[in-house]
Structure 1
Amino acid sequence: MNDTPRVAPKSPSEALKPVAPPAPPPKLRRRRRSPFLAMLSGLFTLLLVAAGVVGAGIAIVSNQSKAPGPLASDRAVIIPKDSGLTEIAELLQREGLIEHPLSFRIAAVIGGDWHKLKAGEYLFKARVSPQEILDVISSGKVVEHSITIPEGLTSEQIVERLRENDLLTGEIAQIPKEGSILPDTYRFPRGFSRKGILDRMARDQNVVLEKIWAKRPADLPIKTPQELVVLASIVEKETGRADERPRVAGVFINRLNQKMKLQSDPTIVYGLVGGKGTLGRPIQRSEITQPTPYNTYV
């Protein structure tokens, strides 16, 4: 027996009536989004976009800073004192070392070099990259120049040479004592002081003289290091040939041991012209016996 319920058939009039659509389901009420959360979401998105832009910019600047620059040949450039990063970048652009000052400044800030840049004269190789430029300027390894002081010059002549060198700066207030500074070749950066060179020469002279004095023969008729310098200066002026100096020195040592006068012509000249060094003419007979503090004939 079938237990399925039976549905009564509809009458013809009922079958012709339109069927009403089913009632729509009740609408679910959407929770309103918090304005604060919306702001945070937008800010986070903005930060992500900004980070991407900054990262791409850093990558571009990094590549540019390592690429060869436009400099065609080696060049020395002077970075003035108290120059800021902007002034340095503009100077490098004018000198043809970089093409993009802004990129250079950004690279300096990113790399942490912007506060290490030092004034001075620097030599840059052709096609040097911006990063290499930053490395050079921040290292402080400036170009070094040299001045050679030949042996045999008086202190006055040495000072005059220093004054004529336009790479040095500052005045020399007092001429050093004769024999107190060492002739040699000295290296210095542009703008170094003339007094600084003299101070270095004096220190070197003391070091050399102490070493020589410590090794002197016991029977040498010289009482002080200063007397040693005086005798060496006389020997040097007596002959321009280094191979003759030991023989000349031997003659003077023998004269000193025998209490004889040295009778050296250069001492006459120095007594007449002092630190100027040269007489410019032969010694006159009357000048041989002319008393001066230096004339070893009298």
Structure 2
Amino acid sequence: MWRSIASNALTLFIVLLIAVAGLLAWGRGQFTGPGPLTESICVKVERGASLAEVSRRLEEQGAVSDARIFRIGADYSGKAQGLKFGSYLVAPGSSMEQVLDVLTAGGASTCGREVNYRIGVAKAEIVLRELDPASNRYEEVAKFDPAAEAAPQVYVDAALEGDLRWQVTLAEGVTSWQVVESLKRADFMDGSIAEVPPEGSLAPDAYEVEKGADRAALLAKMQEKQKAILADLWASRVDGLPYDTPEAALVMASIVEKETGVASERPQVASVFVNRLRQGMRLQTDPTVIYGITKGEGVLGRGLRQSELRRATPWNTYVIEGLPPTPIANPGRLSIEAALNPAVTDYLFFVADGTGGHAFAQTLEEHNANVARWREIEAQQQQGTNP
């Protein structure tokens, strides 16, 4: 009898072991296998949220098939206490294991909303965008110029969100004064700015910042980046340039930056000015005249007058010989590279060609023909016809 009981108990125990093993295997399959999502979604982890709260929300959003299995898997993997606050993009078919990895990896949020403060030559704009999980593309929610408009309520509300991402973007060709004045209007930043950084010393780029970031510290970061870019490109410059210091190259780069917005022709534009310097010709470039008038404090907003082309300022290259004493804007990397590695050409002139680029010429005769063509295009544009 006891043998029968022992045998039955052992059999039951083995059956139970098999059942438990099967259950564990099934649970692991559920945890590591493809998930139920058919399209991407944003998952938000609130600050201080518990694993139970997050797992329930994941099940409600259809990111996981069973909140209990997700919690058990998180406990078993040792990541139950590793949830990171923020908004995260979860891809279609993500397993529970992959979802857990996304929510515990840390770093910047990969979903939700972001603010980009774009500091441009003409104006600065604060742009609020939100990621559309389905297309994985950001869509504009609101945009305004803090110098001229009140912040819309949607931005005010969004600024209170703890996981909102912040970015400051400098366009190529902005002046240091424009950057400082724009940063003063950045309501998401703190700290005062003692002085305007030297012209040309700020690297145009996109900078990730935290809410409440120090303005002066951001300017210092921009200066360090520009310094590193200039040092890197100066080391690989071509021989025979008509300027022998990085500072002079930066001046040339700023002129190239202001003369063209077409990246592919910057080396040709640089070659014109390099050729002129080598031949002892004046640079005769309008952006330097404008800088002599505005000192980089705003946009001129009109055409140059003949009297201004003749007016002597330290930057007016129609009057002075060689390069101006300082840059006239903050040039980007491509313009610095063009100044240090200009194209090899015989060009001495260029003028707008009506396409956004320029027509280049070796002789004054060719240049005058290009100018006449540009005048025709201007006249046709004023009449509302296509050239």
Tell me the TM-score normalised to structure 2 length. Answer: 0.48
Which residue of structure 2 lines up, in the alignment, with residue 136 of structure 1? 102
Distance 2:92 2:180 in 1: 38
Q: How does 1:275-290 map to 2 (within 5 A)?
A: 275=296, 278-290=299-311
Q: CA deviation at 1:97?
A: 1.8
Give deviations 1:263-284, integer Å, cap 9, x for gaps.
Answer: 3210122233444664222112
Which residue of structure 2 lines up, in the alignment, with residue 92 of structure 1? 58
Q: Is 1:105 aligned with 2:71?
A: yes
Distance 1:102 1:280 in 2: 64
Give deviations 1:231-286, integer Å, cap 9, x for gaps.
Answer: 11112323445565445434433554566653321012223344466422211233
Q: Give the AA of the match of 1:235.
A: V
Q: Give the AA of the match of 1:280.
A: G
1:229 to 250, 253, 262: 250
More strand by share: 2
Distance 2:63 2:209 in 1: 22
Q: CA deviation at 1:81?
A: 4.4
Query: Conserved in 1, the CA contact under 8 Å of 2:190 and 2:212?
Result: no
Q: Is 1:295 aligned with 2:316?
A: yes
Which residue of structure 1 lines up, in the alignment, with residue 274 of structure 2? 253
Give the gaps of 5 or more residues in structure 1.
1-47
Which residue of structure 2 lines up, in the alignment, with residue 74 of structure 1? 40
Query: Conserved in 2, the CA contact under 8 Å of 1:170 and 1:194?
Result: yes
Give deviations 1:78-123, integer Å, cap 9, x for gaps.
Answer: 4344444344334434543235444422221111112333334422
Change (3 A) 1:215 1:126: closer
Which residue of structure 2 lines up, in the alignment, with residue 8 of structure 1? none
Change (3 A) 1:125 1:238: closer
1:220 to 200, 224, 241: 241
Change (3 A) 1:110 1:241: closer
Q: How does 1:1-298 map to 2 (within 5 A)?
A: 61-140=27-106, 143=110, 151-155=172-176, 170=189, 174=193, 176-183=197-204, 186=206, 202-242=223-263, 245-256=266-277, 261-275=282-296, 278-290=299-311, 292=313, 294-298=315-319
Query: Conserved in 2, the CA contact under 8 Å of 1:120 and 1:190?
Result: no
Query: Conserved in 1, the CA contact under 8 Å of 2:36 and 2:93?
Result: yes
Once the two structures are aligned, what percentage of the paired residues are identical? 39
Distance 2:276 2:49 in 1: 63
What secondary structure, in the 3-state scheme, does the structure 1 residue paired with 2:88 have? strand
Give deviations 1:156-197, integer Å, cap 9, x for gaps.
Answer: 66679999999xx6458546543223345x586998969788
Number of matched residues? 246
- When the two chains are superposed, the root-mean-square deviation of aligned CA atoms in Å is 4.6
Give deviations 1:13-44, integer Å, cap 9, x for gaps.
Answer: xxxxxxxxxxxxxxxxxxxxxxxxxxxxxxxx
Query: Conserved in 1, the CA contact under 8 Å of 2:168 and 2:209?
Result: no
What secondary structure, in the 3-state scheme, does the structure 1 residue paired with 2:93 have? coil
Q: CA deviation at 1:126?
A: 1.8
CA radius of gyration, larger in:
1
Distance 1:87 1:156 in 2: 49
Query: Conserved in 1, the CA contact under 8 Å of 2:43 and 2:88?
Result: yes
Distance 2:295 2:45 in 1: 42
Change (3 A) 1:216 1:269: same
More helix by share: 1
Change (3 A) 1:218 1:158: same
More moved, 255-264 vs 275-284: 255-264
Query: Conserved in 2, the CA contact under 8 Å of 1:81 and 1:119?
Result: yes
Q: CA deviation at 1:208?
A: 2.7
Give the gaps of 5 or more residues in structure 2.
1-12, 112-137, 139-166, 320-387
Give deviations 1:112-151, integer Å, cap 9, x for gaps.
Answer: 1123333344221123222221122233375399987653
Q: Give the AA of the match of 2:226.
A: Q
Which residue of structure 1 lines up, in the alignment, with residue 125 of structure 2? none
Distance 1:187 1:272 in 2: 30
